[in-house]
Structure 1
């Protein structure tokens, strides 16, 4: 080697040694970490590579070149073991091989220091073409940063790549979204993994980078609040992981979490995971919101040309018509695929609005818009304690929506509304579960348990208690000691806070305290031992609580993970529940026909008997008037209706209420003869208006009269209304279930129990189905618990007696088939 070459080699080696020493000092300085260290490491590397490139260019005589940092290095973020992502640009043609020689003098010193290197050598045209063919290359070039050489060449490529990205965004962004979805399916959700990949899992660093790319397209932008802080937290965790392991890894393994936590100055591994999970949730939520906005913009652009041919007079060519707003609930509408607040909604005057909006969105299978959630978080007044009945009802409705509950709950949680509603939630939020059987954090497990419980509501008489118990059963895991014992105390407080009555508070506390009783007993005790059955029976007290506990046990296991539930476990649980049920005394359902009418009810019945027409009265309910069992229903208006008994009475009356957008929360039906001239049916309905305003009594009475005389076509009117406001999305609820209650429930009638998803006109359809079987409804108990209708109909045959067993079973099958 000639002396000049030797001097260059010595200079390169000296520069490498100097860089390596400075790098080591930087990485071992405890005083400097996080963003300052990453930026300092990037600056140090920039200077080394720039000097290296300048020496190499002088030695090779290369001209017309530029060295670029791309990817994470391009963003000026270097973790201790990050790759150096470099692109060497050059002008077309390299007859003398100077660019190749330049590249060798750049890459080999990097390799000699043992640094990971991802490199390429291209002309600007080649770089642009490669980016057009390879989405990942294009994403990397969006973060290109000049290091050395011809700065104008770098600027030209950056401008061209950015312009290409914006021009191609309508095609590129759907492909990018598909890549993100596939990656999430492979890697899982960072915020729930015990050993998460900080980069590739959903909500990780790769998704944060993707949001930058979407913003660069100018089509949509991510919600920025807290996003940079979340990304920084994940980068800090990855830095500490690199230093602890000495490897370029993104996998936060269990055995390294305590060391990583210590390196970050955190208390323990659980604290580390909780911070990582919080950051991942912020990024994942921002991603969901952003991709919805991208989809909305692209759909709007695709529809615009078709609108031009349909423009009305006075509309600007190409302008989109105002977006359709379909009512969902009072103060909540659907617009462009999201649940948003109505223009007239007043969050500062309506403390129930956050829960009503969430319930309406989940029931419709829609996301709750970011703007709506933030407006609710900023303006909504706190709920009074105890909650009004409507608030409790809306919470149960939200929990009963099944899978669509999860994204709506996440939206509420992202803006702090969940902990505002249930302060005890803060202790379980993002709390990891160090048990391989569990798929989720404690808080997500509780929500998943409610999702699973929503599919089991047909098995129980009180789905509202089942759903609430599912949400609270592990709430004690945020406290020291036995989580079931701590949870019992918390559940009792929360249940009272949200407005359950004393008896229901006791039941919820029992369910939380003993949510492991059945599965532990079924799998660990001798079921042939009478003492085993006696102990369980004494704990659960009655069959109603037993059925709740059995459904909660299954929902808990299904939400935990595949290892927690199996056919074998299900059979053991069913065996235990059957034995305990046999050992318990079952109570009879009260029959309203045996109760004496009030003075007002008797007055209305007498007037109806004399006039032959419907007579009604409306009474508003207040919180003070609702006591005992009545507190389980939404408060609103009680409608008393007296009418001479006739066929199809329940169906027609319920149909009129549905036409007037009145939701039946509870109802009693009784019949008696007030003046000896024939029976009068007395219907006591507790109703609430679907969108706030109640109908005029005179108009309601007129429609009832038309329904009873046959001049009002209820089915056609309901069909017209459904067509005017089609539900394009929504949950898929469990199928309806109609069963015959045990014979001892009533001595004078057959009791049919109907459990179904509540919907406009449901009671009307039940009434029609019963009428089609030629049975007579003697009395009824109607209740709506969240999104579930739980109704009991006392029916008799043409002879006025209870139905024979075979006939009763056939009627139940016919009604269930009609409802399906």
Structure 2
């Protein structure tokens, strides 16, 4: 029995095979069906009892992952042995077996390694000496049916020894599974023969190809899983930095050196003792997390989703700390272990590279110049930056930073042995933090015109980044427990720096035309790059991270070599890095007071340019799908309006002149005669012309013209510039119109991201909505558009109860329930000269806007515009309101009543729909 099981404490408390074997043999009768039924029942009881005991131990010792995984494999071993003996001795006993009637049962894959999570598949193989006999077929079939009856998920194969060798040679997946094959029960001599054949006929002389195949397989898996180990809902088994990466290292070591345990990787020189301890700690932790995942889910579940993260953090006894919740501390530790796995992979591959790739192409890397050379005292080994001696960094710690600066400057990779030395000596960075040369080199890397993202990530992987900038070290591997941020804080920051460099190089002109244009006008590049580095530096400290981050910026700016003016600007950018997105996404940009308030804080065109660039990369680096055309348009509109105000000295261009220019442009596009166009202008109020862009004015005008005397017209068309569908409703105005339309759009499966509500001078409502589907795309096929129009018509005709239809719709994101978001209502009578502005924060859900609008309808107020922003599980809906006479709402009692209704709606209190 493998040594891992030998060290398992109190094994008989999990399952006592001897007692069970006696009980199975004591079952009376000769009817095979009855015997198998009774034996299966007995084994099922033992399986359930064993699982319960393992689960109890995991609760009692929640961090003993390897022990729990070994216990599960041990339980499976014993059940298989009992079943094998019962099948061969009671059901199909062969009193005088021939040489062909031999069979051995092997464990393969992870089970073969002696590690299983509670609901892992059981991967087994049946080996026979030659072609299967009838007796062997009966044994295999009976055992498989019994295992299925036990509710186990079984992966199985049955092969002769020759077939095993042939298939292992032709299929690397089969070869990998058999690499970890372990004898479970049956004919020991047959197993020994098969193992010898595998080593001699399959394994010998093929290590180099096997290693190359496994690394290609690993890279494809990483790409499929997102190619970063810092995704906030990681797959514990398959993701980058997960268990599969550790297994790959072990497979390669086993294949190349015939090691049987990970500890033996030290003896063959692939890992140092300290690195093996890291390997063991990471493997133990990841197995603990995976076992807890299976246990909580009650099934095979390897994705660490938000709803399970909190429970596992509690199980593993992580506690809250100031500024960090228990779940954030747990996930930070998880990502630190995933980072360790990445570090070990680099070291491991360096050794393999030296041994197996000396005469050929390096593993996982393109071919580069191989001639040795020197660079500032560093050596070049086969095209990679390396060290001339093991103590090279220790002799002059500034070289820790210089190594990365040289790699960036000359476009070189860093040799894994040099990375290993940098990780070992990272603590030397403590002594050079205030060294001007070291800081100048670091700033060169940060503001590089080449690829700062890659080199900063290398610095982070080596642990040098966090030691040299300790404030950054505090956010390494730190997650934010929400559905908005896809990456840890350090990964988000490094990605943002990379995006900024790509925009500056002109690689993202199509996605960010305005940002690309203004990058050429920015006076101080390094102010911008340092601000991107520091914008989230104070997360996890408690308090407002923008204010705390500005304090960090004031302290770090001089250390990096920035002038006092540059430091002040960096601190300002960090302090206000959320201002532009909050204004663009939550406020009405057609309200000139919004622009003036924004400009009062910004104060200069240079700051405006810097803030736009920082805002764009901050949003885009949050994760895939967060940036879209609508956000780009809103930020561009705000930038252009603010730039005009700042350029003209805070004076608004004549409102009447702007309206006249828009009207003239519209008349030209429409081609209408003067009388016809004058009739349109007469019907539409002045604020309408300010609020709507020219392309929407044209679409609205044509809809009004086509509708004639109709009391209801609806248009829905894709609006590609905004990444949404524009839905326009032209209808007789009446109270409650907005909440009914909002509910109808939700019924049709749409999310409203913006709404502008207008009333014509002759009593018609002209409402423009921007709508996306639940994953942020436009409604673009005819069926969707027809459904949208039909739902609005039904709602306005009151053909069915909206509340009933909405309550029947399932939640599209049940995971949002994992987050506690207390509804909050903020009322502001200073944000606009004409309107009362109310902002509602709540957990996002279908029809939230509908319920909020219904609450406002009950409050007898007029909604002039609504602006919807979502941040993962959090929704922020902002309304511009007046009372029914068109004035601001000012009475304290009235405002309190509105606040109460909105809080009830935000909390999901069932609404009573008006007749």
Q: Considering the TM-score relative to the shorter chain, is it more than 0.5?
A: yes
The answer as to 2:191 corresponding to 1:154 is yes
* Aligned partner of 1:60 among 68, 93, 115: 93
Q: Helix, strand or coil for the counterpart of 1:148?
A: strand
Give the equivalent residue in structure 1 for 2:289: 237
1:291 CA displacement: 4.9
Distance 2:139 2:622 in 1: 58
Aligned runs of 1:407-426 on 2, under 5 Å? 407-426=454-473
1:87 CA displacement: 0.8
Distance 1:541 1:183 in 2: 49
1:342 CA displacement: 4.0
1:86 CA displacement: 0.9
The answer as to 2:335 corresponding to 1:283 is no
Aligned runs of 1:115-194 on 2, under 5 Å? 115-163=152-200, 164-189=202-227, 191-194=229-232
Distance 2:468 2:613 in 1: 26
Distance 1:42 1:564 in 2: 43
Distance 1:503 1:255 in 2: 46
The answer as to 2:244 corresponding to 1:206 is yes
Aligned runs of 1:304-319 on 2, under 5 Å? none
1:470 CA displacement: 0.8
Give the equivalent residue in structure 2 for 1:448: 495
* Aligned partner of 2:144 among 76, 101, 107: 107
Q: Could you report, residue by residue, the CA deviation over 1:488-543 in whole angstroms, capped at 9, with x for unpaired residues?
A: 12222232443434332222111100112233334444556665455444434444
* Aligned partner of 2:553 among 476, 482, 491: 491
Contact 2:350 2:417 in 1 (8 A): no
Aligned runs of 1:696-711 on 2, under 5 Å? none
Per the alignment, do residues 52 and 525 of structure 1 end up closer, same or farther by CA in structure 2, a change over 3 Å counting?
A: closer
Contact 2:179 2:255 in 1 (8 A): no
Give the equivalent residue in structure 1 for 2:535: 473
Distance 1:403 1:46 in 2: 55
Aligned runs of 1:372-383 on 2, under 5 Å? 372-379=418-425, 381-382=428-429
1:573 CA displacement: 3.4
Per the alignment, do residues 332 and 435 of structure 1 end up closer, same or farther by CA in structure 2, a change over 3 Å counting?
A: farther
* Aligned partner of 2:60 among 23, 28, 31: 31
The answer as to 2:301 corresponding to 1:249 is yes
The answer as to 2:75 corresponding to 1:17 is no
The TM-score, its normalising length taken from structure 1, stands at 0.63
Distance 2:214 2:594 in 1: 58
* Aligned partner of 2:119 among 56, 71, 81: 81
Distance 2:65 2:228 in 1: 21
The answer as to 2:50 corresponding to 1:43 is no
Give the equivalent residue in structure 2 for 1:429: 476
* Aligned partner of 2:620 among 540, 544, 558: 558
1:352 CA displacement: 1.9
Give the equivalent residue in structure 2 for 1:215: 253
Contact 1:466 1:552 in 2 (8 A): yes
Q: Helix, strand or coil for the counterpart of 2:50?
A: helix
Contact 1:385 1:499 in 2 (8 A): no
Contact 1:522 1:576 in 2 (8 A): yes
Q: Could you report, residue by residue, the CA deviation over 1:109-136 in whole angstroms, capped at 9, with x for unpaired residues?
A: 2222111111111111111222122211
Q: Which has the higher relative contact order, 1 or 2, with Cα contacts under 8 A spaced 6 or more apart?
A: 1
Give the equivalent residue in structure 2 for 1:709: none
Contact 1:60 1:101 in 2 (8 A): no
The runs of at least 4 consecutive aligned structure 1 residues that moved more than 6 Å come to none
Q: Helix, strand or coil for the counterpart of 2:73?
A: helix
Distance 1:494 1:586 in 2: 35
The answer as to 2:574 corresponding to 1:512 is yes
Contact 2:433 2:469 in 1 (8 A): no
1:201 CA displacement: 2.0
Q: Could you report, residue by residue, the CA deviation over 1:26-57 in whole angstroms, capped at 9, with x for unpaired residues?
A: 32343355222322332233223223223323
1:183 CA displacement: 1.9
Contact 2:343 2:462 in 1 (8 A): no
Gaps of 5+ in 1: 305-321, 588-820
Distance 2:590 2:226 in 1: 43
Contact 2:40 2:149 in 1 (8 A): no
Contact 1:56 1:106 in 2 (8 A): yes
1:144 CA displacement: 1.0
Contact 2:390 2:421 in 1 (8 A): no
Contact 1:194 1:432 in 2 (8 A): yes
Per the alignment, do residues 471 and 206 of structure 1 end up closer, same or farther by CA in structure 2, a change over 3 Å counting?
A: same
Contact 2:408 2:452 in 1 (8 A): yes
1:360 CA displacement: 1.8
Give the equivalent residue in structure 2 for 1:549: 611
Most deviating of 291-300 and 272-281: 291-300
Q: Helix, strand or coil for the counterpart of 1:334?
A: strand
Per the alignment, do residues 115 and 331 of structure 1 end up closer, same or farther by CA in structure 2, a change over 3 Å counting?
A: same
Most deviating of 66-75 and 280-289: 280-289
Aligned runs of 1:288-307 on 2, under 5 Å? 288=346, 290-291=348-349, 299-302=357-360
1:571 CA displacement: 4.5
Per the alignment, do residues 172 and 382 of structure 1 end up closer, same or farther by CA in structure 2, a change over 3 Å counting?
A: closer
Distance 2:214 2:395 in 1: 42
Aligned runs of 1:352-751 on 2, under 5 Å? 352-379=398-425, 381-382=428-429, 387-401=434-448, 404-457=451-504, 459=520, 460-525=522-587, 531-581=593-643, 583-584=645-646
Most deviating of 337-346 and 480-489: 337-346
The TM-score, its normalising length taken from structure 2, stands at 0.57
Q: Helix, strand or coil for the counterpart of 2:183?
A: strand
Q: Helix, strand or coil for the counterpart of 1:121?
A: strand
Most deviating of 119-128 and 278-287: 278-287
Most deviating of 173-182 and 453-462: 453-462
Distance 1:157 1:586 in 2: 85
Distance 1:22 1:577 in 2: 65
Contact 1:142 1:158 in 2 (8 A): no
Gaps of 5+ in 2: 1-26, 258-268, 320-325, 363-368, 505-518, 650-915
Give the equivalent residue in structure 1 for 2:702: none
Distance 1:566 1:106 in 2: 55
Per the alignment, do residues 347 and 185 of structure 1 end up closer, same or farther by CA in structure 2, a change over 3 Å counting?
A: closer
Distance 1:409 1:470 in 2: 13
Per the alignment, do residues 93 and 529 of structure 1 end up closer, same or farther by CA in structure 2, a change over 3 Å counting?
A: closer
Per the alignment, do residues 455 and 107 of structure 1 end up closer, same or farther by CA in structure 2, a change over 3 Å counting?
A: closer
Most deviating of 142-151 and 99-108: 99-108
Give the equivalent residue in structure 1 for 2:396: 350
Distance 1:159 1:540 in 2: 75
Q: Could you report, residue by residue, the CA deviation over 1:427-454 in whole angstroms, capped at 9, with x for unpaired residues?
A: 3221223444433211111111111222
Give the equivalent residue in structure 2 for 1:335: 381
